[in-house]
């Protein structure tokens, strides 16, 4: 049954791509292919749920044998508990998002083709049982990302965004290829399951570093994140949620699978991962807080979440390397809960961003106010998604970030000054990130979504949008909203599901220790602290209702009367409403205080205007102030490296003289050098 669903889901994606490849035009064919791809994603989700909840041991998980399809050993697709959990999450979200795209306005054929390719390649990566099928799916996913990020050639910067996306994607593929080949050479087998027999030592440490770098580049881990804000912003609006909420989970799955196969890494690798995760979290949130564009803000919040997840994952690695199985469980459970939070919340945020951009014709935060009055359903889902990203109750983000912070408090359970420092640095950066996240999303929610509409702000296409498109987006937004809040209410049941899904990495019995009682949670370690999201959500509702009722009683019912008073104008009567606090002004303090970190650039441009109160010769001067921030990783890392590569390429071009003898001599020298290296190694 499970293998049949897997085969049917992948075949549906292939059918969707084949139809688009044969069809001469888009329109109806694109819509039909998107619906087919959505159905295929639903089949993959069903396969994942059945596999994750399957009873029995994982010695012989359901497998789909494809023979020598890729001509490099036996091609095998298998669905165990871990791959089933990721398939369930990704397939469910992909079904919703592809259905929204299919029901929306007419989409280009390349968009439908790339979307189906994303789901197909993701399914191959998650279910791969051998090296070459994994790398095949990984490269297809990179190709799909490149197509989506460079699709709109009329958009400024789309070509550069496409090249940045494919460059980091190919770099990640190269790192994985070298790491996989090192492990396969050690085991003399292409099957991933053979990695269990890799002995400890330098080779396995090098493979660990290469795998973390390869998967980290896909999830946007600092310093490999420079493609993400460009690629997401340049992609079509309807594809951003699929890329950020669904496809990025391929990287997280790869990290989880590597852990289950390779076992504990060296101490220094585990500590490095914790510190890199903390740095990535704070870097992403600082950049998100300073952005003036909605799409780039949401993209940088993905960088922040990649850091949070990696930091918690690093704690699991620390627990494994120091033989603390419960620390492995609490770190991995916290990281997986944050993966679920990020997937659902990011889908809701980008779905709302799409609706806002359609209505306002822009993603500039200074030009968008009162969005909830224009698209209530999408904006409400975006509102709750922002709450989840900020780790605020009653969303699932509150539960996942609580687990992460509680996991960092287990520092005293391991011994060693170096690892204590690494965990202390990572924990401090994660805690600081949580505070900055509240600041960042307060700006987004308070000024952009819930604020009053600025006078003179015109809507772009609200009259031309189809009613069916609005209804479908409203339904999808409502579903995501229920998921964000509902999963927090039933989080004890979610942990029971994750206990099955994570069983290839950590035992079910250890994960279920997080359940202090059927509806009360603690961070695996008994007697440390407790949380009941279910009762907390009920207490919030009852408390709100009680305060509202008490207010109504004490006011004698007058609280419901409509009273009209002049709007607050910054406590200064001459200040016009159109010049009230803007989104950029809200972050002015952050830009100035952290100018050395954000590389804030300020400009003041004076302009002379005719005075309306004095003589004709009198003039008045008005100054225009602007500020911008830089990504220090790009400024001090990638740009100097690109300049050096450019110089090296220009120098190497001089060797291309066209003389055959020179080429043969160069080849001979390289061959002699390689033989010398091989002889030295032996």
pLDDT digits (tens, 9 = 90+) for 602-614: 777 776 555 445 4
DSSP 613: S
Q: Looking at the domain assignment, is residue 520 inside a domain?
A: no
The predicted-structure confidence for 79-96, as pLDDT tens digits, reads as follows 888 998 999 999 999 998
- Asked whether the beta carbons of 169 and 218 are under 8 A apart, the reply is yes
Reported confidence tier of residue 314, pLDDT bands at 50, 70, 90? very high
Identify the CA nearest to 364 among candidates 474, 465, 227, 457. Answer: 457
Stretch 298-315: mean pLDDT: 92
At residue 462, does pLDDT exceed 50? no
**Helix H or strand E encompassing 653:** helix 639-653
pTM assigned to the model: 0.87
Residue 247 maps to a domain: yes
Cβ-Cβ contacts under 8 Å for 542 (sequence gap 6 or more): none
381, 383, 389, 391: CA torsion to nearest 10: -110
Query: By residue range, what is the domain housing residue 246?
Result: 2-192+199-453+468-489
Domain-located, residue 18: yes
Whether the bond into 246 is cis, omega within 30 of 0 = no
| Coil/strand/helix, residue 479 | helix
Question: In 3-state terms, the chain is what percent helix, strand and coil (to 5)?
Answer: 70, 5, 25
Residue 624 pLDDT class (50, 70, 90 cuts)? low
Do 433 and 304 form a contact (C-beta atoms < 8 A)?
A: yes
Evaluated on CA atoms 434, 439, 440, 445, the torsion sign reads positive
pLDDT of residue 59: 58
Contacts of residue 437, Cβ cutoff 8 Å, sequence gap at least 6: 285, 301, 304, 389, 390, 391
Nearest CA to 235 among 144, 307, 371? 144
Residue 313 forms part of a structural domain: yes
- pLDDT > 90: what percent of the chain? 18
65 contacts: CB under 8 Å, gap ≥ 6 = 74, 75, 76
Low-confidence winner among 30-44, 49-63, 481-495 (lowest mean pLDDT): 49-63
Query: Which of 455, 479, 252, 454 shows the shortest CA–CA distance to 347?
Result: 479
Q: Is residue 638 in some structural domain? A: yes
* Residue 419 to residue 427: CA distance in whole angstroms: 12
- Asked whether residue 176 carries a pLDDT value surpassing 90, the answer given is yes
Residue 647 pLDDT class (50, 70, 90 cuts): confident
The answer, yes or no, to whether residue 64 has pLDDT greater than 60, is: yes
Q: Which of 1, 41, 130 is nearest to 77 (CA)?
A: 130
Q: Please, is 74 exposed, middle or buried when counting C-beta atoms within 10 Å of its C-beta (0-12, 13-18, 19+)?
A: middle
**pLDDT tier, 553 (very low <50, low <70, confident <90, very high otherwise):** confident
Would you place residue 76 in the very low, low, confident or very high pLDDT band (cuts 50, 70, 90)?
Answer: confident
**Residue 296, Cα to own-chain centre: how many angstroms?**
13
Number of domains in the chain: 2
pLDDT higher than threshold 50 for residue 463: no
The confidence band for 317, taking pLDDT boundaries of 50, 70 and 90, is very high
- pLDDT > 70: what percent of the chain? 87
Mean pLDDT of 248-257: 93
What backbone phi and psi angles, to 5 degrees, belong to 525? -75, 120
The residues, any chain, with a CB within 8 Å of residue 629's CB and separated by 6 or more, are 287, 290, 291, 591, 598, 599, 600, 601
User: Omega before 467 cis (within 30°)?
Assistant: no
139-161 pLDDT, tens digit each: 999 999 998 888 877 777 778 88
pLDDT of residue 395 exceeding 90: no
pLDDT value at residue 459: 54
Phi and psi of 563, rounded to 5°?
-120, 130
Q: Are 218 and 172 in contact (CB under 8 A)?
A: yes
Give the residue-averaged pLDDT of 586-593.
Answer: 75
pLDDT at 315: 93
8 Å CB contact between 555 and 547: no
Residue 414 forms part of a structural domain:
yes
Q: Give tens-digit pLDDT for 443-460.
A: 787 777 776 665 544 454
* Cβ atoms 329, 510 nearer than 8 A: yes
169, 142 Cβ separation under 8 angstroms: yes
- pLDDT greater than 50 at residue 337: yes
In a domain, 100, yes or no: yes
In a domain, 415, yes or no: yes
pLDDT of residue 307: 92
């Amino acid at each position: 049954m499970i293998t049949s669903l897997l085969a049917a889901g992948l075949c549906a994606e292939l059918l969707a791509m084949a139809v688009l490849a044969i069809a001469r035009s888009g329109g109806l064919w694109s819509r039909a292919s998107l619906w087919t791809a959505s159905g295929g994603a639903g089949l993959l989700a069903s396969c994942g749920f059945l596999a994750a909840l399957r009873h029995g041991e994982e010695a012989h998980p359901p497998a789909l044998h494809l023979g020598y399809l890729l001509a490099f050993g036996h091609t095998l697709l298998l669905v165990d508990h871990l791959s089933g959990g990721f398939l369930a999450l990704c397939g469910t979200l992909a079904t919703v998002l592809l259905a929204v795209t299919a029901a929306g306005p007419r989409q280009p054929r390349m968009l439908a083709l790339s979307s189906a390719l994303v789901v197909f390649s993701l399914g191959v990566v998650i279910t791969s049982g051998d090296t070459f099928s994994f790398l095949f799916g990984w490269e297809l996913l990179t190709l799909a990302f490149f197509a989506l990020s460079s699709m709109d050639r009329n958009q400024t910067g789309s070509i550069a965004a496409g090249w940045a996306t494919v460059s980091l994607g190919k770099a990640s593929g190269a790192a994985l290829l070298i790491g996989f080949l090192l492990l396969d050479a050690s085991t003399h087998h292409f099957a991933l399951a053979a990695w269990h027999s890799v002995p400890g030592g330098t080779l396995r440490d090098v493979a660990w570093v290469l795998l973390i770098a390869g998967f980290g580049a896909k999830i946007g881990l600092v310093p490999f994140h420079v493609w993400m804000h460009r690629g997401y912003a340049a992609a079509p609006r309807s594809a951003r949620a699929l890329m950020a909420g669904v496809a990025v989970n391929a990287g997280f799955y790869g990290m989880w699978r590597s852990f289950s196969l390779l076992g504990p890494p060296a101490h220094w690798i585990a500590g490095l991962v914790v510190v890199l995760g903390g740095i990535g979290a704070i870097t992403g949130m600082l950049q998100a807080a300073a952005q003036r564009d909605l799409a780039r803000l949401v993209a940088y919040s993905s960088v922040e979440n990649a850091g949070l997840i990696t930091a918690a994952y690093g704690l699991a690695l620390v627990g494994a390397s120091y033989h603390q199985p419960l620390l492995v469980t609490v770190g991995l459970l916290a990281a997986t809960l944050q993966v679920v939070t990020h997937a659902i919340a990011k889908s809701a945020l980008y779905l709302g961003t799409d609706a806002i951009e359609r209505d306002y014709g822009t993603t500039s935060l200074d030009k968008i106010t009162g969005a909830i009055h224009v698209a209530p359903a999408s904006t409400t889902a975006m509102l709750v998604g922002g709450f989840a990203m900020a780790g605020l109750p009653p969303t699932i983000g509150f539960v996942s970030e609580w687990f992460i912070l509680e996991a960092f408090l287990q520092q005293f359970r391991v011994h060693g000054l170096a690892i204590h420092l690494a965990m202390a640095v990572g924990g401090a950066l994660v805690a600081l990130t949580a505070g900055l996240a509240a600041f960042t999303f307060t700006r987004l929610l308070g000024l952009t979504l819930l604020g009053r509409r600025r006078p003179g702000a015109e809507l772009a296409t609200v009259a031309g949008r189809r009613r069916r498109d609005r209804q479908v987006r409203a339904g999808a937004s409502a579903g995501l909203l229920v998921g964000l809040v509902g999963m927090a209410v039933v989080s004890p049941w979610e942990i029971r599901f994750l206990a099955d899904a994570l069983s290839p990495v950590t035992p079910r019995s250890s994960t279920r220790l997080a359940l202090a009682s059927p509806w009360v949670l603690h961070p695996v370690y008994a007697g440390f602290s407790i949380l009941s999201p279910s009762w907390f959500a009920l207490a919030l509702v009852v408390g709100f209702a009680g305060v509202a009722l008490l207010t109504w009683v004490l006011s004698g019912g007058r609280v419901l009367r409509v009273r009209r008073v002049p709007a607050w104008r910054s406590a200064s009567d001459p200040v016009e409403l159109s010049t009230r606090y803007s989104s950029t002004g809200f972050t002015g303090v952050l830009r100035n205080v952290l100018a050395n970190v954000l590389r804030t650039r300020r400009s003041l441009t004076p302009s002379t205007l005719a005075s309306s109160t004095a003589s004709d010769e009198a003039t008045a001067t008005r100054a225009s102030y602007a500020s911008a921030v830089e990504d220090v990783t790009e400024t001090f890392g990638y740009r100097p490296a690109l300049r050096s590569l450019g110089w090296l390429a220009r120098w190497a071009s001089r060797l291309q003289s066209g003389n055959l003898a020179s080429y043969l001599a160069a080849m001979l020298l390289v061959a002699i050098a390689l033989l010398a290296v091989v002889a030295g190694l032996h």
